[in-house]
Amino acid sequence: MKTSRKCRALLAASLNLVALLFSTTAFITTYWCEGTQKVPKPNCSKETRFNCINLNRTSTMNTSKPDQVHYSWDTGDDRFVFRYFHTGIWYSCEENISGVGEKCRNFIDLAPASERSVLWLSVISEVLYIVLLVVGFSLMCLELFHSSNVIDGLKLNAFAAVFTVLSGLLGMVAHVMYTQVFQVTVSLGPEDWRPHSWDYGWSFCLAWGSFTCCMAASVTTLNSYTKTVIEFRHKRKLFEQSLREEQMFIDREAINYFRERSIQSISSSVEVFADPATGTTKSLVTDPLDLSEIPEVLGEDQC
């Protein structure tokens, strides 16, 4: 199905806008990775009555004595609680067992010292990814709404394609580096943070969905640029061919016109009559300026 240049530009701009919204949402949210952490149960208190260890189960236990020995009958996994956590580029938030709400910590501080430089590179690449998406979207909007000239539109289209491809590459590198840092942090991170089980969250899916839309926008932009150039060259070729055929037709008409004029001028300049004395034909030149053209017509009958 054939599509116009404006429709292709509109499709590329829409894909770029979706990629920009997805990447911005993923960058500011903390649901790249989700899971549970295995932590010891706290002691029960007035504030914490569930998921805790009750040291006062027997009525005979005298808690007023400081030297009183307290026993817990919880064994195995009953001594632990599995709390929910979710982590993003900036923060890692954990469920607050002893209260309501969540407790968040800076993920950069949780990452091992050997991986913090890689994490900062991931953050910088993510920021550049979003900035280049904004630049590409702006160029696509200029091409769509403010470019009436085909040549200017092609220039804007080419620059938009370059910026979109570069942003897609930076986004892919940023996502891969963050995944590497998180997996290392799972193994070498703080003991009180290491997850028992985890999986990728919806922010991570949005990030890779943004990359997919970005590459689709770049392919659409390059396709629009290529099709526009091919259509322009095809129209120019047809114009040159029609101009050449018209020139040949004009030259042929001119040749026929001058040929007819030359024959008419020769016919009006030479008068052929019969000589009764000798019985031969005679030619009389009426126009002395056309003597050079008479031999070609008379041939051997010239006197």
Lowest-confidence pick of 131-140, 206-215, 227-236? 227-236
pLDDT band, very low/low/confident/very high, at 171 (cuts 50, 70, 90) = very high
Residue-level pLDDT at 196: 86
What is the pLDDT at residue 265?
Answer: 63
- pLDDT given at position 49: 55
- Tell me how far apart the alpha carbons of residues 207 and 23 are, in angstroms, rounded to a whole number: 5
Q: What is the mean pLDDT of residues 9-14?
A: 87
Name beta bridge partners: 39: 81
Going from N- to C-terminal start, the domains of the chain cover 5-42+80-238
Q: Which CATH entry fits the domain spanning 5-42+80-238: 1.20.140.150, 3.30.70.890, 1.10.10.10, 3.90.470.20?
A: 1.20.140.150
229, 228, 214: which is closest to 162 by C-alpha?
214
224 vs 265 pLDDT, higher one: 224
pLDDT (0 to 100) of residue 242: 73
Give residue 58's pLDDT.
44
Nearest residue to 91 via CA among 238, 235, 193: 193
Q: What is the pLDDT of residue 276?
A: 58
What is this structure's pTM?
Answer: 0.67
Edge-first strand listing for the sheet containing 197-200: 102-106, 91-95, 80-87, 33-40, 197-200
- CB 83, CB 37: distance < 8 Å: yes
**pLDDT at position 121 over 90:** yes
pLDDT surpasses 90 at 241:
no
Q: What is the pLDDT of residue 280?
A: 56
How high is the pLDDT of residue 54?
59
Mean pLDDT in residue range 6-28: 90
Given a cut of 90, whether residue 69 has pLDDT beyond it is: no
Whole-number average pLDDT of the chain: 75
Query: What is the distance between the alpha carbons of residues 125 and 173, in angstroms, rounded to a whole number?
Result: 7
As a whole number of angstroms, the distance between CA 137 and CA 175 comes to: 21
- CA dist 182 and 188 (Å) reads 10
